[in-house]
Amino acid sequence: MGSDDFHPEERPVRTVAVDGFWMDTRLVTVAEFRRFVRQTGYLTVAELAPDAAAFPAGDPASLLPGSLVCPATAGPDDRHDGGDWWSRVPGASWCHPEGPHSSILRRDKHPVTHVAYADALAYADWAGKALPTEAEWEYAARGGLHGAAFVWGDDLAPAGQQMANIWHGRRWQSLLWDHAGTSPVATFPANGYGLYDMAGNVWEWTCGDFRPGDPCASGFPCCVPPDLRREAAVAAAAEPAARRQAGGITLRVIKGGSHLCAPDACLRFRPAARQGQPAGSGAGHLGFRCVLRPS
């Protein structure tokens, strides 16, 4: 796993062994997550108000329930990198992906988003499953193509075919249909193991730790929101004490890239790509899938 050819946090290439496991062929969808919520009454981190006492000087808007959204732009602007695209929107959550006036109507087959790490764990536990380790996720994503740049091989678009929901063009000018954001799961071809959306669409949680000593642990590149540590701290304060880990913000590895990742920019829709995401913070381009391990 890993790669020596792209970003420093992917290095070095190394051999890792994993035991046998089963992985969901599809991302957890809005419909599946809604079923979980209806049966359990679960409230996600984005739906819980942060503890105002913990942030006496905080912006009042940041102390409301909400999540991180990347709004569309109608034309060129002065936001030059992925971090500048994002804002924390009060009322944004898994059932209101763009904010309180949006809905999940006609999105049943889209991947659920705005789920923090604790939310993904809660769903996995309810389903009798678990979240994948980073090694399990990358092994599965490669589909048997060990060392290939992409989930499907080394050619970005074999025979001109688009293989994943990724961004094409400038920030305000997507050149393909994917400008609308997430796509229904399994819209694009499966990999060699029959798994869909292992590249693009939404980033995926793993249970792997992104350690502070890892390269880029303090400089979040690609399509990651600005001032991420502050936003994550606000989101983490919203979690009940039982969901929080002591000792500050825990970073978990996310994999797979999203519909905001572009071939001429971050190229993080590759199996080796990885990023650190604060466990207490979800976003509009972040979802998950589950695994089942032999008991």
In a domain, 2, yes or no: no
More confident residue, 222 or 198: 198
Residues 6 or more apart whose Cβ sits within 8 Å of residue 80: none
More confident residue, 193 or 76: 193
The pLDDT score that the predictor gives to residue 110 is 97
Give the pLDDT confidence of 35-68 residue by residue, as tens digits: 999 999 999 999 998 777 666 666 666 688 999 8
In a domain, 288, yes or no: yes
Torsional class of 225: left (φ above 0), alpha (ψ -120 to 50), beta (otherwise): beta
Do the beta carbons of residue 18 and residue 142 sit within 8 Å? no
The pLDDT score that the predictor gives to residue 86 is 76
Do the beta carbons of residue 85 and residue 79 sit within 8 Å? yes
Mean pLDDT of all residues in 231-257: 58
Mean pLDDT of all residues in 14-20: 92
The pLDDT score that the predictor gives to residue 228 is 44
The pLDDT score that the predictor gives to residue 82 is 45
In a domain, 3, yes or no: no
In a domain, 220, yes or no: yes
More confident residue, 47 or 267: 47
Rounded to whole angstroms, how far apart are CA atoms 205 and 127?
16
- Residues counted in the chain: 295
Both tokens assigned to 9:
């946090």
Rounded to whole angstroms, how far apart are CA atoms 266 and 276?
15
Q: Is residue 239 pLDDT above 70, yes or no? A: no
* Terminal Cα distance for the chain, rounded: 25
The pLDDT score that the predictor gives to residue 229 is 40
The pLDDT score that the predictor gives to residue 88 is 85
Both tokens assigned to 196:
């869909």
Return the CATH number at 163: 3.90.1580.10
- Does this model's pTM top 0.95? My answer is no
Q: In percent, how much of the chain has pLDDT > 90?
A: 55
The pLDDT score that the predictor gives to residue 9 is 85
Mean pLDDT of all residues in 103-124: 97
Q: Is residue 207 pLDDT above 90, yes or no? A: yes
User: What is the count of structural domains for the chain?
Assistant: 1
Domain that holds residue 265: 8-292
The pLDDT score that the predictor gives to residue 258 is 94
In a domain, 1, yes or no: no
- With bands split at pLDDT 50, 70 and 90, how would you rate the model's confidence at 73? low
Rounded to whole angstroms, how far apart are CA atoms 219 and 190?
32
DSSP string, 206-265: EEEE--TTSTTSSS--SS--TTHHHHHHHHHHTS-GGGPPSSSPPEEEEES--TT--TTT
Do the beta carbons of residue 149 and residue 175 sit within 8 Å? no
Mean pLDDT of all residues in 168-191: 72
Q: Is residue 126 pLDDT above 80, yes or no? A: yes
